[in-house]
Amino acid sequence: MSKYAQPTRRPAVVTGASSGIGAATALTLAAAGFPVALGARRTDRCEDVAGRVREAGGEAVVHALDLTDPSSVETFAEKVTAELGDVEVVVSNAGAVGPGTIHEVDTERFARELDLNIVGAHRLVRAFVPAMVERRRGDLVFVSSDVAVRPRPFMSSYAAGKCGLEGLAHAMQMELEGTGVRASIVRPGPTWSEMGTDWDVDEAAFVLDQWVRFGLARHPHFLKPTAIADAIATVVSAPRGVHLSLIEVNPEAPLEDR
Ligand SMILES: NC(=O)c1ccc[n+]([C@@H]2O[C@H](COP(=O)([O-])OP(=O)(O)OC[C@H]3O[C@@H](n4cnc5c(N)ncnc54)[C@H](OP(=O)(O)O)[C@@H]3O)[C@@H](O)[C@H]2O)c1
């Protein structure tokens, strides 16, 4: 067998699979033949998605996952591995953002957001990557954000978190070179999801106005979560010998009237 061959069965973990991009990714990977493990705090919502996977003939398991709780991540990894076998693909997708002015946001909240958006991703890495390195095979996808390269005001911890996440990912790509494990970044632009739907309406309107003011919302189009799911599926399906290390996906601007 070629050293570049991939096994036919490649169990995949998707965090934040209860809504938005994570739910779409679980459905897309399952449709492509990956057995999927869905993790999030709202397991009822993950079960809905898993039910759709099974109805379509795919394989899906659901386990509670709180990325801010180290024991939750460890238990999740143990249960998923016991049920699906060695995990070949990990999509680190869960994330959250809150609005606020940097000097007014209390430091505890700032730290809580970083704890999910960066430290949570590292907990996931610790839980799954050592075994991938041991097997000399595996894919890890970090779902970043365009704020990593074009920071938006009034979401400081989120911007810091995604910049940090990409720093971690780029360093990791070098550390993993030659191990057979590919760490990749998928960097979405604005996408319809549940992100920001918990914000106060006036605060959300203010923040969106500020994005326009600073040239960060050039047109009103948003992506569907399936667009990001397709990018993630493409990254993890690249043949051995090819590493799609970074993909940025943005909504196409509306056609101008002529
Ligand atoms: N939407 C956009 O415009 C956009 C743009 C760029 C990047 N992104 C990134 O895309 C990723 C997915 O976000 P989305 O847009 O799909 O938003 P979403 O619909 O709000 O989904 C966020 C997911 O994260 C999960 N989550 C939150 N806290 C968690 C925790 N402590 N432990 C485990 N899971 C947790 C949520 O599940 P539970 O609440 O059930 O735990 C939910 O499934 C995020 O990393 C986000 O930063 C989004």
> Is position 190 within any domain?
yes
Q: What is the pTM of this model?
A: 0.97
> Is position 130 within any domain?
yes
| Ligand 1 neighbour 72 (Cβ under 6 A) | no
> Is position 51 within any domain?
yes
Show the domain range for 200: 12-248
Domain CATH code at residue 116: 3.40.50.720
| Ligand 1 neighbour 251 (Cβ under 6 A) | no
Whether 4 is catalytic is no
> Is position 5 within any domain?
no
CA-based angle 117:119:124, to the nearest 5? 95
> Is position 2 within any domain?
no
CA 15 to chain centre: 7
DSSP 133-177: HHHT-EEEEEE--GGGTS--TTBHHHHHHHHHHHHHHHHHHHHHT
| Ligand 1 neighbour 224 (Cβ under 6 A) | no
Distance from the alpha carbon of residue 246 to the mean position of ligand 1, in angstroms: 19
Distance CA 256, CA 212 (A): 19
| Average pLDDT score over residue span 20-34 | 98
- Domain count within the chain: 1
Distance CA 166, CA 6 (A): 27
Q: Which residue puts its alpha carbon closest to atom 8 of ligand 1? A: 145
> Is position 255 within any domain?
no
Q: To the nearest whole number, what is the mean pLDDT of the chain?
A: 96
pLDDT at 137 over 60: yes
> Is position 7 within any domain?
no
Sign of CA dihedral 192, 70, 47, 129: positive
Beta bridge partners of 40: 64
pLDDT at 2 over 80: no
pLDDT in tens, 75-113: 999 999 999 999 999 999 999 999 999 999 999 999 999
> Is position 3 within any domain?
no
